[in-house]
Every structure is written in structure tokens, then in C-alpha cells.
Amino acid sequence: MRNLIYILVLFFSISCSEKQDQKQPKPVSRILTPVADTKKMQKIEGGSYKPFVGKETDSLVKVKTFYLDETAVTNAEFLTFLKANPQWTKSRVLRLFADSTYLNHWKGDYEIPEDVSPEAPVTSISWFAAKAYAESVGKRLPTVDEWEYVARADENNKNAAATPEFTQRILQLYQQKLMYKKPVKQSNPNIWGVYDMFGTIWEWTEDFSSVMMSGESRKDNTTNETLFCAGASVTSSDLKNYAAFIRFALRGSVKADYTINNLGFRCARDAEN
């Protein structure tokens, strides 16, 4: 049913744009063309962890074993995707799936901006675009739980979240500017072999909006009992985890068509049983 609506919307958008603009080239296919992907993935052993917000924070959440890209998807990789899938280029993307700043800094449909490394993470892409890319390479976006589960690790520990220095270091990394222009692998990999979880870009997750954070971060929102309250969250499992507060605030501030300078993604895949 959902797919049908999807197709209908696509159909209407295409037919409308045809009527309005005679110069528009022939409508491109909206069907995703598979793309070969050689990116190294790391196996993340499953386990349980204490989520930061949005769930019963007294209980542990299980994360199944999965694979995660060792770095964010790069401009070069995204360019390969665009060449196979011109419907996702900046001139042809449907406004429904990406707002007006989609690939803002790219000069043309297939031109990575000069001051940005081809090996830098692709940014200014919407959730829809990230999801399409992931599907084209036979993967998916990681869930918030998967992402946060990996984000607890430092170079030596799978769970470093309890050490105050860890949070302080992440806050430092978050303060760096314009890191999205630099190649991936800016820092040493964590114990899983995963690079740059912090301080280069924000990353889309499959269910980024499942933990809604309203703009009013100091009180409960009636639509979601597990939200933020009175200066911080009474339901947060770790009031001192400012780094996590920041990530959840960012996730709460975006919509699926948003494109932002420093928001990119990496892909995940289920482990075979």
C-alpha cells in the first residue's frame, strides 16, 4: 500500500513537471540501479546496552550482530551512485525527497566541489538519498540503537561511555569546524575497527525520528512521555552524557528531506544467520 502511494506520488510529480517545463529532459527512471560497493565493513558483535533516551531506560536493549561500514560514504562513492542513478542528481532529485540545499556545494550533477576531498564524507544529502544509496549497494542505514551501540567504543573498550574523559573528548571533537571537507579516517579506529564516529559529520540513521526530541528540551512532551524534562531529561539514563544529548538534539531537529553541510551517513547490513 505504501509503495503504491510512493509510486503514485512519483508519477504525479513527473507528469506535472513535464507539463510545466518543456525544456526538461526526458524523465529519468526512478528505479534504483544497483551499484557495486567495495567498502570494508566491520562485524559488530551483538549485545545489550542501556539506551540514552526514548525507551524504558531502566531496561537494556538488545542489539543483534551486524556489519557497519568502517567509514562514512564518501563523495567519490556517492558520485558512482549518481552516475548509475541520475534521478538522484541535484538537478533531477524530487523536491519531496531532498530540500533546496541538496548537494549544495557541488557545482554540477557530477562535479565534487573543489575544496572538498573526494574521499571526504558526502554531506548535504537527505535521509531519502542516503536510504536509496544504501539500497543500491545492497545495504541499509544503521538504526539509532546500532549506531549508539558502536558509539560507546573507544580504541580499547567496547564500552567507554562511563569514563568522563570519553565524553569530554567527544565534546572537544564536536567543536571542530569544517571537518566534513576532510577525507575519512581522521582519527584512529575504535575497537570495532570503525572510524570517525565523532567530530567529522553527523550521520543519518534509519529511525532517526523514533526518538523525538521537541525543541523544548526541558520538559516532557505530552506525545512522548520519555522526553526531556526540567533542565535535562529525567528519563535520560546518563545526565552527564552531553555528547549524547547533542546527538539526540540534532536527530530531533531534522526531517527526512533536510540536507545539511555536515550531515552524511554510513551503511549497515544484517549478519547472516
Partner 1 sequence: MKNSIMLAVVLSATFALNACKQNPSETSQSGNTESIAVKGNAEEAKLTSPPLVPEPIGNRAAKKLIVRLETIEKTGELSDGTQYNFWTFGGTVPGSFIRARVGDEIEFHLKNNENSTFPHNIDLHAVNGPGGGAEATFVAPGKEAVFNFKALNPGLYVYHCATAPVGMHIANGMYGLILIEPEGGLPKVDKEFYIMQGDFYTKGKYGDKGIQEFDMDKAIAEHPEYVVFNGKTGALLGDNELKVKVGENVRFFVGNGGPNLTSSFHIIGEIFDKVYIEGGSKINENVQTTVIPPGGASIVEFKATVPGEYVIVDHAIFRAFNKGALGKIKVVGDDNPKVYKKNN
- State the number of binding residues for partner 1 (CB under 8 A): 40
Enter the DSSP assignment of 69: E
Measured from the CB atom, the residue of 37 and 148 that comes closer to partner 1 is 148
Q: Does residue 254 interact with partner 1 by CB under 8 A?
A: yes
Determine which residue in the list 29, 178, 270, 271 makes contact with partner 1, applying CB under 8 A: 178
Measured from the CB atom, the residue of 32 and 171 that comes closer to partner 1 is 171
Measured from the CB atom, the residue of 192 and 242 that comes closer to partner 1 is 242
3 state DSSP class of 162: coil
Enter the DSSP assignment of 181: G
Enter the DSSP assignment of 33: P
Say if CB 214 and CB 221 are below 8 A apart. yes
Say if CB 125 and CB 162 are below 8 A apart. no
Interface of this chain with partner 1, residues 210 to 249, rule: CB under 8 A: 213-219, 228-235, 240, 242, 245-246, 248-249
**Phi, psi (degrees; rounded to nearest 5) at 146:** -60, -45
Measured from the CB atom, the residue of 81 and 166 that comes closer to partner 1 is 166
Interface of this chain with partner 1, residues 12 to 71, rule: CB under 8 A: none
CB of 126 to partner 1, least distance (A): 12
E-only strand ranges, the chain: 41-44, 47-49, 61-63, 66-69, 202-203, 263-264, 268-270
Q: Does residue 209 interact with partner 1 by CB under 8 A?
A: no
CB of 175 to partner 1, least distance (A): 5
Say if CB 233 and CB 227 are below 8 A apart. yes
Determine which residue in the list 58, 177, 188, 273 makes contact with partner 1, applying CB under 8 A: 177
Here the cell at position 212 is: 523525538
CB of 141 to partner 1, least distance (A): 18
Instruction: Please state at what angle helix 164-174 crosses helix 242-253, rounded to 10 degrees.
Output: 40
CB of 69 to partner 1, least distance (A): 22
Tell me how far apart the alpha carbons of residues 108 and 102 are, in angstroms, rounded to a whole number: 12
Measured from the CB atom, the residue of 53 and 112 that comes closer to partner 1 is 53
CB of 260 to partner 1, least distance (A): 5
Q: Which residues are registered as beta bridge partners of 269?
A: 67
Determine which residue in the list 101, 117, 157, 224 makes contact with partner 1, applying CB under 8 A: 101
Cβ-proximal residues to 63 (8 Å cutoff; 6+ apart), any chain: 44, 46, 47, 48, 49, 145, 146, 149
Residue with cell 538522484: 88
Residues at the contact surface with partner 1, assessed by CB under 8 A: 101, 164, 167-168, 171-172, 174-175, 177-178, 213-219, 228-235, 240, 242, 245-246, 248-250, 252-254, 258, 260-263
